[in-house]
């Protein structure tokens, strides 16, 4: 476990909201509690790159641009260089291309942008692999591990993976290889129509070795989002000293 990252800086809040106005309200509310804000497809497509200024102008938190890029290497490389000009710290690229596009991560290493490979979405379960065209007998964990190894060899800073897979990835790829974990569900959270299959609590993710965790709905939909974020930071802190 990497103990050098403070509890607050390990929490990424997902700005999974439909417009700039709502995004700004959450940034103002949580800017002193979380270490990073995630801007995903919904918000980025609606508002464009200007929405990144909402984070920079209203907090000192870093930005995680979660676009899950999946295209030919030249296009991905150009997109990464463009993202670097916006002061983004993290950006995601799909890890399913066998490494060709992932290797463009080396092109932005000196620009302050860390490329994270998405292994397998946390909404995917073991039982769905066959229907997605994967060969019989391939376990979800092995698929995740294979993609993590390719990402490491390609020069990525880390991966996005489920909490239950972190310890395997750290053992295989080194402790310095970042593991960013979505699908976080605190024990107290009540989520309606939850589409996540591979979930863990904040404590479980950190104890498994996660460097950062991504939390959206448990904070966004809480009666008091600020209090919910603070509770998660506290849980992270307790896990770090366990």
Name the catalytic one among 38, 56, 68, 171. 68
Average pLDDT over residues 146-150: 93
pLDDT score at 17: 96
Which range (49-53, 131-135, 146-150, 233-237) has the least confidence?
Answer: 131-135
What digits encode the pLDDT tens for the residues 159-197? Answer: 999 999 999 999 999 999 999 999 999 999 887 766 677
Average pLDDT over residues 14-19: 96
Residues 84, 111: contact at Cβ < 8 Å?
yes
Average pLDDT over residues 85-103: 90
Check whether 128 has a pLDDT greater than 60. no
The full set of domains in the chain, from first to last, is 8-240 (3.20.20.70)
Distance CA 203, CA 190 (A): 17
- The pair of structure tokens assigned to 42 is 């919904």
What digits encode the pLDDT tens for the residues 95-105? Answer: 887 778 899 88
pTM for this entry: 0.92
Residues 106, 84: contact at Cβ < 8 Å?
no
Average pLDDT over residues 137-153: 85
Residues 6, 34: contact at Cβ < 8 Å?
no
pLDDT score at 124: 60
Active site residue 68: yes
Distance CA 231, CA 121 (A): 26
Check whether 84 has a pLDDT greater than 70. yes
Average pLDDT over residues 81-104: 90
pLDDT confidence of 2, banded at 50, 70, 90? confident
pLDDT score at 136: 60
Distance CA 153, CA 57 (A): 36
């Amino acid at each position: 476990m990497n103990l050098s990252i403070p509890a607050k800086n390990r929490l990424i809040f997902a700005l999974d909201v439909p417009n700039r106005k709502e995004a700004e309200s959450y940034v103002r509310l949580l800017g002193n509690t979380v270490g990073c804000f995630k801007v995903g497809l919904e918000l980025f497509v609606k508002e464009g790159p200007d929405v990144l200024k909402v984070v920079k102008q209203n907090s000192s938190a870093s930005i995680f641009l979660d676009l899950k890029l999946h295209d030919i290497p030249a296009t991905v490389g150009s997109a990464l260089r463009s993202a670097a000009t916006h002061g983004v710290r993290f950006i995601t690229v799909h890890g399913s291309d066998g490494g060709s596009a992932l290797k463009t991560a080396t092109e932005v290493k000196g620009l302050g942008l860390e490329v994270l490979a998405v292994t397998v979405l946390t909404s995917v379960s073991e039982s769905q692999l066959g229907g997605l065209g994967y060969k019989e007998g391939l376990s979800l964990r092995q698929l995740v591990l294979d993609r993590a190894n390719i990402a490491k060899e390609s020069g990525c800073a880390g991966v996005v993976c489920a909490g239950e897979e972190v310890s395997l990835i750290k053992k295989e790829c080194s402790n310095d290889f970042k593991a960013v974990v979505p699908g976080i569900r605190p024990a107290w959270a009540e989520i309606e129509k939850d589409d996540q299959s591979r979930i863990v609590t904040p404590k479980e993710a950190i104890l498994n070795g996660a460097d950062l965790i991504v939390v959206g709905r448990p904070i966004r939909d809480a009666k008091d989002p600020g209090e919910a974020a603070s509770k998660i930071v506290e849980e992270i802190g307790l896990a770090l000293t366990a």
